[in-house]
Structure formats: C-alpha cells, structure tokens
C-alpha cells in the first residue's frame, strides 16, 4: 500500500507532466496513453488516462530510486554495476 502523501505527490508530479508535454515524462505519459488506448479499445478515455498516469508515476518512482541508489552507493572501481 502506498503512503497517502507519497501517492498524492506522485499524482501531482504526473499532472505536471501533462502541463509539460515536451518534457521527458510528458512524452512518456503520451506514449503510455497511446499504448493503453491501442491495447484496450473498449476502455473510456478517462480509464486510459488514469492507467497511463499511474504507469508513468510508477516508472518515475523506479527511475528516482535508481538515481538515488547511484548517488548514495556509488559503484566501487573495478566492480560492474547491475544497473549498467
């Protein structure tokens, strides 16, 4: 389960992606909406929109975690990182 404030923060972040369609996450959101609409033609536009929003939030969360890990635990010289 998501902590309520974190869930709200991710929702607001994805809303910003809507307002900035040329940003990296704005383009990702648009691609997800197109993909969902293609895979689920029976769904309403709002259902597709919400599914794409939460998919974008999930992917952003994963990206943020990986970036944080790189900063917090830098790779040791000579050791190959799993992320690479």
Q: What is the 3-state secondary structure (H, E, C) of 41-65?
A: CCCCHHHHHHHHHHHHHHHHHHHHH
**Is pLDDT above 80 for 84?**
no
Per-residue pLDDT tens over the stretch 22-73 = 999 999 999 999 999 999 999 999 999 999 999 999 999 999 999 999 999 8
Q: Given this model, what pLDDT does residue 7 score?
A: 86
Q: Given this model, what pLDDT does residue 5 score?
A: 87
Q: How far apart are CA 74 and CA 56, in angstroms?
A: 26
* Rg (the chain; Cα; Å): 16
Rama region for 78: left / alpha / beta (φ>0; ψ in -120 to 50; rest): left
User: Within a 13 Å sphere around the CA of 26, how many CA atoms are in the beta-carbon half?
Assistant: 9
Q: Are the C-beta atoms of 23 and 69 separated by less than 8 Å?
A: no
**Is pLDDT above 70 for 1?**
no
């Amino acid at each position: 389960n998501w902590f309520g404030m974190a869930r709200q923060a991710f929702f607001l972040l994805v809303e910003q992606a809507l307002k900035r369609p040329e940003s990296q996450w704005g383009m990702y959101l648009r691609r997800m909406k197109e993909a969902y609409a293609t895979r689920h033609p029976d769904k309403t536009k709002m259902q597709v929109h919400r599914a794409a929003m939460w998919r974008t939030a999930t992917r952003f969360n994963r990206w943020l975690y990986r970036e944080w890990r790189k900063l917090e635990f830098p790779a040791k010289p000579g050791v190959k990182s799993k992320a690479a």
